[in-house]
Amino acid sequence: MKNRKVLIVEYKTDSTGNLDGELKALRYNVKKTSFKLEELGDVAKEYAPHIMIVDMSVHADKNIIAKASKAQFELSIPVIYFTEAINSRTLYQTMKTDHYGYIYTPYDESTLQTTIELALHKHKNDVSVRESEFKYKELFNHMTSGVAIYELQDFGSRYALVDINTVAEQLIGRTRDDLLSKPLTMVFLNAVQYGILDTVKRVQTTYKPETMKAHYYEDENFNGWFNNHIYKLPTGEIVHIFHEITEQLEAEKELKAKQKELELLNVELAKTVVEETDKRRKNEQVLFEQSRFLAMGQMISAIEHQWRQPLSALGINIEDLEDAYITGDLDSDYIHDLTKDSMVLIKTISKTMEDLNSFFRTSQTEEIFSIPEMLSEVYGLILSRLFNSDISFHIVYTKDDSTTEAHDKEVLNFIKKIRDFQAEGVPAEFKQVIINILNNAIDAILEKKSSSTEHIQGHISLEIDKRENDINIYIRDNGIGITHDAIGKIFEPYYTTKESGSGIGLYMSKTIIEQNMKGKLNSSPLPNGAIFTINLPLTPKKN
């Protein structure tokens, strides 16, 4: 009882006797006021009692009953009436309020305390019930499905509507007031024809919930497709939940139609992709062959220089043979030396022919090949062009943080010593990529030389950085370089900065490295030249 506040409202001063003293003895906090006071509600709000005792000792006062009832509602507190002997008029007036009992005089301490505590307990339960009802109504009326609740009435002859939520009103097109107490067949006018009434009767009998999925319903008030769920409450009422799915079904129908269209479109698209892919492959094959022919022209030009020296030496040997015959110097030693020297020259020419034949081998079969071996063959083919163009060549090999290098004539022997890594692809294609890049580097250096009045020493370096699973090949030159405008275009087909260029060499090189060999080919300008970077996955050697 401690800390519980009691507000006593007296008809006149001390009309309740020692009620306040007895309540204080029971450890209640007590305040007394007169109901002649105009602002009873304000006093009650300020004091905030847990319970209010209103004096009805003489007669019932409509005003005080009204004020007490208002305070009870606004402050949510219970009201008990105090009286010596209640008369019919007082009883009638107080019964119209939601009061929580009477305190009759004389009374004892036990009765007084019991009356107050029962009132407080009952009021607490009433508040809890009201809150539950409020939550139920809020939940009920905010459901996205329509809900109708029926009760079996008139000795089981009809199902009457006892509650309906807001969504159900909207779906049916009628108000709650219009529908309450109406039989099921007046809520759903065609409940019999569409099987709703029979389903309700079965659920009433079996207690087993039933669901009517994608069920069409129509009457003069509304129509549409609904999912229906009907079940029976423990208290006997039948709950009918119906959710409109007309838009959902229409959307699903439209979606299926779109999916069908998409399937047909995908078939046509797949056909187009196959045709375009085939067309692209044919175009790329044409470009590849054009690139090979261009490279062949460059190689033949290089071989022209490479063969000139041994052919010239062979011519001198033949002329010297005639002179030796005339002068009588033609003996066995002379013949032996001449033959030996001539065979060396012939083997040099033959080796060049073999390298050329290997480079332009037409096989397109993928295989595992040695990268250093391919680099060696390419270097053998361009060596003469490098020499005739006054361009030095430098190779660097890095493995496990260890670096070795070689220059010019030492390069071929150096490459033979590092044949310990391999890749997968078409060897001729890989060689074509390297020769394309090296020929472009030579052309860039020659263009720079021709545009300068000073002597420029051309230089090309090929750096190999071997790692555990892949390899980077860097080809640098000190030629005219690449402009920032051109850097994003040089790998596009038919783009060229040369007057006589075709614009397919670098395009095919990138296609070979990235599509065929699953690597990367990029280029960047340098302060004095350009750099091309090839990254390739390595193929492990078989044990």
Phi, psi of 353 (to 5 degrees): -65, -40
* Domain range for 9: 5-129
Within-domain flag for 266:
no
Amino acid letter at 387? F
153 touches 245 (CB < 8 A): no
Do 125 and 169 belong together in one domain?
Answer: no
Please report, for the domain that includes residue 176, its CATH number.
Answer: 3.30.450.20
Distance CA 229, CA 206 (A): 15
Say yes or no: 348 and 393 in one domain.
yes
| Same domain as 205, residue 61 | no
Question: Would the pLDDT of 152 be above 70?
Answer: yes
Q: Which residue has the higher pLDDT, 31 or 315?
A: 31
Whether 465 contacts 471, CB under 8 Å: yes
Are 375 and 434 a contacting pair, CB within 8 Å? Answer: yes
Same domain, 425 and 508: yes
Chosen domain end from 244, 262, 279? 244
> Which tokens go with 503?
């614009």
Tell me: do 195 and 169 sit in the same domain: yes
- Looking at per-residue pLDDT, the higher value among 57 and 231 belongs to 231
* pLDDT of 213: 87
> What's the number of domains the chain is made of?
3
The pLDDT score that the predictor gives to residue 496 is: 74
- Predicted pLDDT of residue 298: 62
| Token couple for 68 | 């007490």
For residues 337 and 515, which has the higher predicted lDDT (pLDDT)? 515
161 plus 121 within the same structural domain = no
pLDDT on residue 327: 81
- Could you tell me if residue 353 is inside a domain? yes
pLDDT in tens, 243-269: 999 988 888 888 898 999 898 888 888
Residue 102 DSSP code = E
Assign residue 330 a region (left: φ > 0; alpha: ψ between -120 and 50; beta: otherwise).
beta
The pLDDT value given to residue 356: 62
Rounded Cα–Cα distance for residues 77 and 51 (Å): 6
Res 542: pLDDT: 65
Q: Which DSSP state fits 80?
A: E
| Inside any domain, residue 136 | no
User: 90-123, pLDDT tens digit by residue?
Assistant: 666 677 777 888 888 888 888 999 999 999 999 9
Q: Which helix (H) or strand (E) holds 527?
A: none
Let me know whether 238 and 207 are in one domain: yes
Q: Name residues whose C-beta falls within 8 Å of residue 235's C-beta, 6 or more positions apart in sequence.
A: none
What pLDDT, on the 0 to 100 scale, is given for residue 446?
93
Q: Please identify, among 186, 217, 244, the residue that sits at the C-terminal boundary of a domain.
A: 244
Task: Using pLDDT thresholds of 50, 70 and 90, give the confidence band for residue 58.
Answer: low
Instruction: Answer whether residue 407 is part of any domain.
Output: yes
When mean pLDDT is compared across 74-88, 131-145, 196-210, 301-315, the lowest value belongs to 301-315
CATH code assigned at 460: 3.30.565.10
CATH number at residue 55: 3.40.50.2300
Eight-state DSSP code of residue 183: B
Tell me: do 49 and 92 sit in the same domain. Answer: yes
Domain membership of residue 427 (yes or no) is yes
Rounded to whole angstroms, the Cα distance separating 392 from 35 reads 118
pLDDT bin (cut points 50, 70, 90) of residue 224 is: very high
Q: Average pLDDT of 341-348?
A: 76
> In this predicted structure, what is the pLDDT of residue 484?
79
CA dist 337 and 258 (Å) reads 88
Higher pLDDT, residue 135 or 329: 135
Confidence of residue 543 (pLDDT cuts 50, 70, 90): low
Verify that 76 and 174 share a domain, yes or no: no
pLDDT score for 40: 73
Cis amide bond preceding 372, omega within 30: no
CA 194 from chain center: how many Å?
45
Do residue 431 and residue 337 come from a single domain?
A: yes
Asked if residue 262 belongs to a domain, the reply is: no
Decide: 243 and 224 in contact? Cβ < 8 Å: no
Q: Which residues contact 134 (CB under 8 A, 6 or more apart)?
A: none
- Do 52 and 154 share a structural domain? no
What's the longest Cα–Cα distance across the chain? 172
For 269-300, how does the pLDDT look when each residue is reduced to its tens digit (9 = 90+)? 888 888 887 787 677 666 666 666 666 666 66
Q: Are residues 340 and 204 in the same domain?
A: no
Question: Is 96 part of a structural domain of the chain?
Answer: yes
pLDDT tens digit string along 418-475?
A: 877 899 998 888 988 998 899 999 999 999 999 888 889 999 999 999 988 999 999 9
Which among 129, 155, 184 is the end of a domain?
A: 129
pLDDT of residue 309: 66
Sign of CA dihedral 312, 315, 316, 317: positive
Which of the two residues, 215 and 157, has the higher pLDDT score?
215
Residue 175 falls inside a structural domain: yes
Q: Residue 328: its pLDDT value, please? A: 79
Burial of 135 (0-12, 13-18, 19+ CB in 10 A): exposed
Mean pLDDT value across the chain: 85
Q: Supply the pLDDT for residue 472.
A: 95
Calpha distance 65→69 (Å, rounded)? 6
Pair 395, 409: CB distance under 8 Å: no
pLDDT at 336: 80
Only one residue has tokens 């060689």, namely 431
